Amino acid sequence: MEARAAAEAEEVPIGAVVVCAGRIIGRGRNRTREWHDPTAHAEMLALGQATRSLRFERLIDCTVYSTVEPCFMCAGALMHARLRRVVWGVRDPKFGACASLAQVMNDPRLNHRAHCAEGLRADEARELMQSFFRARR
């Protein structure tokens, strides 16, 4: 739903939610164009809402679900939040930092690791992204 809302607002259709103890505590969708802010990625906004919800900067027992593999900026923020798990639909071969260009979430040089899983609703995520960019070309 968040990714579709982003597409309707003419943003790249990426949405993210943070889930803790079985409930959504943070939601976000890309708003970089709307807010004229290159940091307004779906994952960043969902993280901010989640940490405000818990009133704590760490999301130790939480999972983030995103339409697309997180970029370097988002992966870094996810690591700082100490998320337990990161799940995404499709890889991002140009900016992806969890599997495509790097494996930030599991880099042995860092003091935290997160479990990663990809492919959740991948067909739906892929079609959403492809149709969005096809309409702009």
The residues assigned a catalytic role are 43
Nearest Cα residue to 116 out of 77, 89, 81: 89
Do 24 and 49 meet the contact criterion of CB atoms below 8 Å apart?
no
Do 101 and 73 meet the contact criterion of CB atoms below 8 Å apart?
no
Three-state SS for 92?
Answer: coil
Nearest Cα residue to 78 out of 106, 108, 38, 119: 106
Strand order across the 62-68 sheet: 23-29, 15-20, 62-68, 85-90, 115-118
Q: In the chain, at which residue ranges do the beta strands (DSSP E only) sit?
A: 15-20, 23-29, 62-68, 85-90, 115-118
